[in-house]
A and B are shown apart, each in its own frame.
Chain A
Amino acid sequence: MSWPPMLMHVKVKNKENDFGIWLPFFLLIPVLAAILIVLSPLIFILILVTWPGGWGRWALNALWAAICSFWAMRGLEVDVENAKERVRVSVF
């Protein structure tokens, strides 16, 4: 079973700034899930209404793809460094 990302760390270091920020996904996920559950009847109706035009199916696929992409972010790491600056993004 794959786990969703729990934390994201963004760090930027240059001559002027040196800051890092931790984004606690493990706190955001329950909030977003609750919002999604609350809004689910509205989303369901919107999808049903727009289904004949083809947009409902597209919206459903888009929502699913976005959730899948977010879920798969765990382990992502980007580290770029040059003489002046260093940017590091890690997802745990």
Chain B
Amino acid sequence: MSESKKKILEMLAQNKISADDAYKLLSAVDAEKAGNTSEGRRSEDTSDMGHNPSADSGLGGVKLKGKYLRVTVTPGENSTDPRHGDRVNVRVPMNLIRAGLKMTTLIPPEALNKANDALHDKGINFDVRNIKPEDLEELVDALGDMTIDVESGHGEKVKVFVEY
């Protein structure tokens, strides 16, 4: 048995992760071994896994790829103000984000120069031409570690997270 599998089972025994999560992580380990890439790492049913950060919590490099970026806005329970009563639920496939990032290669160099100049004017010395598609891919993968949870004074809750 591999170290990763042992660690998953240990976490299950310690009730740090659920049986479902353990199953998915074990499947991911098997998929990794079989040489599968993104498709193999996906679980059969990921709907109930939500944005559980345990999916990538130090399991010897085992990391599930996120399927959807979720953005939810829920109004406060006692909110009667219609300006703060919006309810938003957006689910964007991560593949769509990746595909959208490919569009950045279509930005003409002149526009990038203008962006650089604008950044420079704001005091930011950063060359946007240095951003490579590989870096963006890494950035999208790293989104899985991100969770934003904001609650406003009106009781509105905004959540941004990655669903597995």
Contact = CB atoms under 8 A, between A and B. Distances in A.
A68 B105 contact: no
Interface residues of A, number: 23
A77 B96 CA distance: 12
Interface string B76-87: 000000100111
Contact of A73 (B89, B96, B103, B106): B96
B63 interface: no
A80 B103 CA distance: 26
Given A76-B93, A76-B96, A62 B87 contact: no
Nearest to B91: A77
Interface of A, helix, strand, loop or mixed by DSSP: mixed
Nearest to B84: A82
Contact of B90 (A58, A64, A77, A82): A77
Interface in B69-126: 82, 85-93, 95-96, 98-100, 102-103, 105-106, 108
A31 B91 CA distance: 28
B84 to A, nearest CB: 10
B68 interface: yes
